[in-house]
Amino acid sequence: MSKNKQQADIRSHRLDKDQIARNFGDLHPPLSRSEALIAADRCYFCFDAPCTTACPTGIDIPGFIQKIRSDNIRGSAHTILGENIMGGMCARVCPTEVLCEDACVRNTHEEKPVEIGLLQRYATDPVFDQGTPLFSRAAATGKKVAVVGAGPAGLSCAHRLAMLGHDVVVLNRDDKPGGLNEYGIAAYKTVDDFAQKEVEYILSIGGIELRKGETLGKDFTLQDLRDSYDAVFIGIGLGSTNTLGLDHETLPGVDSAIEYIAEIRQSDDLGKLPVGRRVVVIGGGMTAIDIALQSKRLGAELVDIVYRRGPEQMGASRYEQDLAQTNGVTIHHWAKPVELLGDDHVTTIRFERTALDSNGRLTSHGDGFELTADTVFKAIGQILDVGVLGKDAAGLEIRHDRIVVNEAGRTTLPDVWAGGDCVAGGDDLTVTAVQQGKVAAIDIDRRLRGE
């Protein structure tokens, strides 16, 4: 370890208040009515619309756009939220450039798809602003379902179950509901406390009891729930951050991106947050982009992302990569960290060049480079804390540290369903979590009705 005694430069108030406010304002401001009408007019109302197929929740996109054209905004919102109760959040956070908008036939000749995300926001914003009731509950079934986790998966599942007439108890570890909508999504994607507004709306259907500070594996076990409820849905997301597997990983200044993002999201005065002058981010997903960009927007001078593979393999979409780069973030590909340097605080991180060998496996070259850093953020993914599932985990099939479910969300335990980031085979998107929660609710309902 080198004897580098350089002081870490980590400070708050790097930027003035107005600049911070501008940096953390709406990334994509909402459309005005006239903008929305013009955007809606660009929809061709395709047969068997490719955008609808591309949407994980299968929203009838041409259908809702048609309703925007005729000023039937409430009807439009119903079309959206009926398939995806978090259509408001999804309108803000979905990587539409790889989902619906990527499928838009307008791309063929114009490379400019219909602005589906923004139109979806236009149609749904009034519902959340005004609390317009769009859904009601079916006759009570007398069944009670426990939902663990109040993230997108859990809340979507709870809402659909409530609609179908079941009573739901949602047990959530965190104080605030919403999961990563509240603690993870980049601040400029969901301004004005939208995550909580959305949760309030979801709960307003009735029949859902939300209990906070209730942690599976600590305050109760899966077996407890199976004993006292007719069905259980697990939507606990992912827990701890992966480790780099390097020495000195506990060195001050080597931080979890997720934890810092949560701090940003919960801060009521962003200027107060201390941020390094030189920030290095390890990872290639949405989290890596988000921590890099938000550090930059808090005033970090030099922000580098280092990813061990190429741009195509990055979990973050091309659009997100471009966004980072146009905001002054440097992205290095094909390099992996090998050494953290610093005495009482990290000062430097050393990388080795990587490449794919003839078998497609990642290898490293030996040669490499160093980056000086006041902060190193680990954004290399999270894993499920299988431990919280307790001894019931024995009956649950787990693969690659995630719960295995079938296409209806059933686990290998007959009365337990799961969805969202904690299940195997997903793509770690809000919209997928919502879909999995919905699909599971429909299957739970069928099962409880004895169909």
Partner 1 sequence: MADLKTTFLGISSPNPFWLASAPPTDKAYNVNRAFEAGWGGAVWKTLGEDPPIVNVSGPRYSAIHSNERRVIGFNNIELITDRPLQTNLDEMRQIKQDWPDRALVASVMLPMNEPTWAKYLPMVEETGIDAFELNFGCPHGMSERGMGAAVGQVPEYIQMAAEWAKKAASVPVIVKLTPNVTNILPPAKAALDGGADAVSLINTINSIMRVDYDSLTMYPTTDGMGTHGGYCGEAVKPIALNMVAEIARTKETRSLPISGIGGISDWRDAVDFLALGASNVQVCTAAMVYGFKIIDDLVDGLNNFLDDKQLTLDELIGKAVPSVTDWQYLNLNYVEKAVIDQELCIQCGRCHVVCEDTSHQAITHTVNGERRFEVIDSECVGCNLCVSVCPVEGCISMHQLTEGIDPRTGETISPEKADWTTHRNNPMRKTK
Ligand X SMILES: Cc1cc2nc3c(=O)[nH]c(=O)nc-3n(C[C@H](O)[C@H](O)[C@H](O)COP(=O)(O)OP(=O)(O)OC[C@H]3O[C@@H](n4cnc5c(N)ncnc54)[C@H](O)[C@@H]3O)c2cc1C
Sorted by sequence, the CB contacts under 8 Å of residue 126 that are 6+ apart come out as 73, 74, 77, 132
Q: Is position 137 an interface residue for partner 1 (rule: CB under 8 A)?
A: no
> At its nearest, how many Å lie between partner 1 and the CB of residue 82?
23
Residue 423 corresponds to which tokens in the numbers above? 């299940």
CB 258 to ligand X: min, Å: 6
Distance CA 298, CA 292 (A): 10
x/- mask, ligand X, residues 36-65, rule CB under 6 A, reads ------------------------------
Residues 117, 238, 51: CA angle, nearest 5 degrees: 25
CB of 75 to partner 1, least distance (A): 14
Contacted by 106, from ligand X, partner 1, none: CB < 5 to 8 Å by type: partner 1
**CA within 13 Å, CB half, 323:** 21
Q: According to CB under 8 A, which residues from 91 to 120 bind partner 1?
A: 105-106, 108-109
First to last CA, the chain: 65
Cα 166 versus chain centre, distance: 27
- Please classify residue 324 by burial: count the beta carbons closer than 10 Å to its beta carbon, then call 0-12 exposed, 13-18 middle and 19+ buried: buried
Q: Which stretch binds partner 1 (CB under 8 A): 46-54, 325-333, 387-395, 423-431?
A: 46-54
Check residue 50 for interaction with partner 1 (CB under 8 A): yes
Q: Pick from 83, 125, 167, 174 the residue near ligand X by CB under 6 A.
A: 174
Compute the distance between CA of residue 417 and CA of residue 401 in angstroms, rounded to an integer.
Answer: 16
Which two tokens mark 264?
Answer: 């940003």
Residue of 120, 124, 430, 435 that binds ligand X (CB under 6 A): 430
* DSSP symbols for 54-116: HSTT---HHHHHHHHHTT-HHHHHHHHHHH-TTHHHHHHHS-GGGTHHHH-TTHHHHS----H
Of 346 and 440, nearer to ligand X (C-beta) is: 440
Single out the residue of 40, 59, 158, 282 in contact with partner 1 (rule: CB under 8 A): 40
Query: Distance (Å, rounded) from C-alpha 143 to C-alpha 39?
Result: 44
Contacting ligand X within 394-423 (CB under 6 A): 420-422
Nearer to partner 1, 44 or 369 (CB): 44
Minimum distance between the CB of residue 129 and partner 1, rounded to whole angstroms? 21
Q: Which residues bind ligand X (CB under 6 A)?
A: 93-94, 148-154, 171-174, 179-180, 184-185, 189, 214-217, 235-237, 258, 261, 286-287, 290, 388, 420-422, 428-431, 433
Q: Which residues bind partner 1 (CB under 8 A)?
A: 34, 37-38, 40-41, 44-48, 50, 69, 105-106, 108-109
